[in-house]
Structure 1
Amino acid sequence: MNIGSVRVRDVPESDIERALALSHLVFHESPDDERRKQQQQELSGHLRIGAYDGEELVGFAAAHPFVVSVPGGADLPCPGLSYVSVAPTHRRRGVLSAMMSELFARWTEQGAPLAALWASEAAIYGRFGFGPGTYGATVEIDSRRALALRVPPDERALHLLDARSVPTALAPYFESTRGLRAGRHARTEAWWREQWMARTDEEDEDLSPPRVVTLGDPLAGYAIYRTKAGDWSGGTAGLVSVEELEADGPEQAATLWRYLADIDLTGTVRAHGRPLDDPLSLFAADPDQVSVKNVEPALWVCLVDVRAALAARVWAAPVDVAIEVLDARITANAGTFRLIASPDGFSYAPTGDAPDLTVQARDLATAYMAAKPVADLVRAGLVTEHTRGAASMLDAALRTELLPHTGDSY
């Protein structure tokens, strides 16, 4: 694909260092040698698309070969878009649009029903059909006093785990629970070791290496966290930063939160990206002790193949609606289709019937993941309901027991 003098094509192995240099320029990063080496290794096995102006690399995008859970627990191939960079000399010239068109063509050829990304600027990716597929909340516990609970904590033993044994010890448990929520990536041993158990935190260098606490044997839950010393001369208590907490149920979760709140010489527990239906704020005896600081989109999702994606998820109730899908990027998705689905069957085919609902591709992705009800999107003016009750019928079919959630970023 060409845009004037710019040609979009594969980025060879020999240009990975140039691609990283462009990414670091665009994102204002100066990673150390260890991090650069890790990034080079990551990109060596990825799909890499570049925009070249002559021999100059002026645009770059890569896709991680992920697998992600969808509503009902099934796993689908889901390329994870990353390192998206356009040189400041070539902005607003259609370079990003050309690279995205090439990526969509590649993903369609590969048969990937979904694609996903973490958006550095949320305003950019909606026009390419990406919508928020999961949301995350930042939650804080005032741990200057003991965390009071309304549920009895699980009193089984807690153990601190050596970081080197994490992939072996935690991976089976995480994998067994991953399908309970949509939006969760399958993790390789390398992902556990190089992403979750990295020795430094790029956003806060004062945080400790990751610590891991586990509950019970057999495992009934775990937490991965970091700590940061306070400034006692200035009256500032230390911080516990929670990166992940998984548990069998509320009693097990209560034990882990109590442990984190009881760590000596700290006064705040802060957890980023928690699921919006996390029960912590409900089973805390004092609601003022636990506060939600902000809620924001986490994983953005695009339905590369709407029919394949819809066919792979579970339907909670019967639905029969005609949906007009507006998709300017992937023309095969656009049109009016009759969706007939139930817990026992699925059909999605073009129809000449008048639509009951009109929805843009980005909003269909959000509804598909059950991140937001269709009725909410109708009230926001983002989905048009032509037939009264159609949104409620579709919501009943899309409903999931737990909200989607993504802890992994890339």
Structure 2
Amino acid sequence: MEYDPGLRFDEVPESRLDEALDLAYLAFHEKREEERYRHQRRLLLGCERVGAYDGDALVGLAAAFRFDLSVPGGDLPCAGVSFVCVAPTHRRRGALSGMLGELHRRSAENGRAVSALWASEDVIYGRFGYGTATRGTTIEIDSRTPLRLRIDPDEGPLRLVDPAEAPALIGPYYERTRAERPGRIARTEAWWREEWLPEKDPDEEEAGPPRVVVLGEPITGYALYRVKDLGEDRRPEVRLDDLEADTPAGAAALWRYLASIDLTDKVRAWNRPADDPLLLFAADRDRVRVTATAPELRLRLLDPGAALRARSWAAPVDLVLDVRDGHLPGNAGRHRLAASPDGCSYTPAEGPADLALDVRDLASCYLGDTRAADLLRAGLLTEHTPGAAAALDAALRTESLPHTADDF
């Protein structure tokens, strides 16, 4: 889309952060609440910020957190896109295209080969090259009776810890285990305190204060949860926000603990990996139900070559990919992907392509969420060489499905 020539795209300075947040509240129809406003201002202060300007008026905002994202076999600097909004007076004038283009350019210049966002509007962000890279499931446990399991839980000690002490205690454990699953972001101490452990949940007034239970000494697992009031004549529910464990037995111990909290009838985990072991070791699946599965993190390959070289490969593959990229045309064209467990190269190529696909679909495959074979069956990928999609899938295979617990 061409931009309105009356618009320009430039940095949003700190002096205009209040104006930027007011614009976001206008666009999202939200009411300004001072505590949340201060929190979001602190977040925005740490972001890369691009605005759309009509003269001197700020009419659009797009920001990006500076994250490290776990990818198969490693870590990759990532731009976490958020706070995207356009004033209602300036819709359909290219403001979003201009801001994302400028944000992508700055992110790539700063060494971020990928960008990511949370959004429900695939129809909007798909055209900018964002593909679904992780999915999450909502799991509900009927805890009116004891949780029955097919394995023996770890009988190591469980203890509640002060949320104020939790970042120093569970932060290093999370960082140590983060690389085991693609799609996880590195959490700073400030991120732990402000996003995971605030005394009051800004999105659910009915939720109580954070509770942190850890397993073992040294720690071999933890769960972070809140107890949510469901109103008169209903018992509260346990809302699980995060759970990690070194072993299935450790996870079983934590789930058993959550399902046995007195005076509650349900455990609700709104965002768990689609391959959560609970779904296999729960003995009674009538009481452990998946109630929803939804796309979560959308990923964009700003520099496909750098992104592909940064990850590990499960099997050798040698293919010519014909990639379409309408938003960043420098990424488009034919490239030879030659990868193995020993490394990867991605170089311009001539001659016929083995596979043709859009950059958003390459992004969906990148962390291991989507199979090329499924894209082929859906008509979203063209296979010029029989077996090429299966070869790419074998090379991209990961031990665990990608998952992102952090909503930004």
The two structures share one fold, judged by TM-score above 0.5: yes
Please give the alpha-carbon distance, in whole angstroms, between the structure 2 residues aligned to 1:320 and 1:217: 47
Structure 2 gap ranges (5+) = none
Cross-structure match for 2:352: 354
Deviations 1:147-182 (A, max 9, x none): 000000001111011000011000110001000011
How far does residue 345 in structure 1 lie from its aligned partner after superposition? Answer: 2.7
Structure 1 residue identity aligned to 2:186: A
Match among 276, 287, 290 for residue 289 of structure 1: 287
Judged with a 3 Å threshold, the aligned counterparts in structure 2 of structure 1 residues 352 and 217 are, in CA distance, closer, same or farther, namely same
Equivalent of 1:363 in 346, 361, 364: 361
Q: Which residue is 1:390 aligned to?
A: 388
Q: Assess, with a 3 A threshold, how the Cα gap between structure 1 residues 173 and 75 changes in structure 2: closer, same or farther.
A: same
Match of 1:238 among 236, 239, 244: 236
1:120 deviates by: 4.3
Q: Is the 8 A contact 1:2 1:8 kept in 2?
A: no
3-state secondary structure, aligned to 2:165? helix
Corresponding residue SS for 1:36: helix
Q: Give the corresponding residue for 2:256.
A: 258
Q: Where does residue 334 of structure 2 map in the other structure?
A: 336
Deviations 1:204-260 (A, max 9, x none): 211101111111101010000010234463xx3321000000001110000100100
Question: Does 2:375 match 1:377?
Answer: yes
Q: Does 1:146 align with 2:146?
A: yes
Equivalent runs, 1:3-402 vs 2, <5 Å: 3-72=4-73, 74-231=74-231, 233=233, 236-402=234-400
**Aligned partner of residue 265 in structure 2, secondary structure:** strand
TM norm structure 1: 0.97
Q: 1:140 to 1:307 in 2, by over 3 A?
A: same
RMSD: 1.3
State the Cα deviation string for residues 331-383 of structure 1 (Å, max 9, x = none).
Answer: 22101111111001322111112111111000000101111111111111111
Alpha-carbon distance in 2 for matches of 1:342, 1:229? 52
**DSSP-derived class of the 1:217 partner:** coil
Q: Give the conservation status (yes or no) of the 8 Å contact 2:141–2:259.
A: yes
Shift of 1:194: 0.8
* Offset at residue 109 of structure 1 (A): 1.5
Q: How many Å separate the matches in 2 of 1:2 and 1:374?
A: 34
After superposition, the C-alpha distances for 1:320-339 in whole angstroms (9 at most, x for unaligned) are: 11111000111221011111
Q: 1:354 to 1:159 in 2, by over 3 A?
A: same
Q: Percent identity?
A: 55
Give the Cα–Cα distance (whole angstroms) in 2 for the partners of residues 293 and 21 of structure 1.
36
Instruction: Report if aligned partners of 2:312, 2:343 keep a CA contact under 8 Å in 1.
Output: no
Q: Give the match's secondary structure for 1:194.
A: helix
| Counterpart residue type for residue 335 of structure 1 | G
* Counterpart amino acid of residue 343 in structure 2: G
What residue identity is the alignment partner of 2:322? Answer: E
Name the amino acid aligned to 1:5.
Answer: G
Residues 135 and 296 of structure 1 are in contact (CA less than 8 Å); yes or no, is this contact kept in structure 2? yes
Change (3 A) 1:102 1:231: closer
Give the distance between the partners of 1:367 and 1:229, measured in 2 at CA: 40
SS at match of 1:141: strand
Distance 1:318 1:120 in 2: 35
The separation in 1 between residues aligned to 2:325 and 2:222, in whole angstroms, is: 42
Following superposition, the deviation at residue 4 of structure 1 comes to: 2.5
Q: Which moved more, 1:24-33 or 1:84-93?
A: 24-33
Q: CA deviation at 1:273?
A: 1.3
Figure out how many residues of one structure are paired with residues of the other and give that number: 407
Contact 1:78 1:114 in 2 (8 A): yes
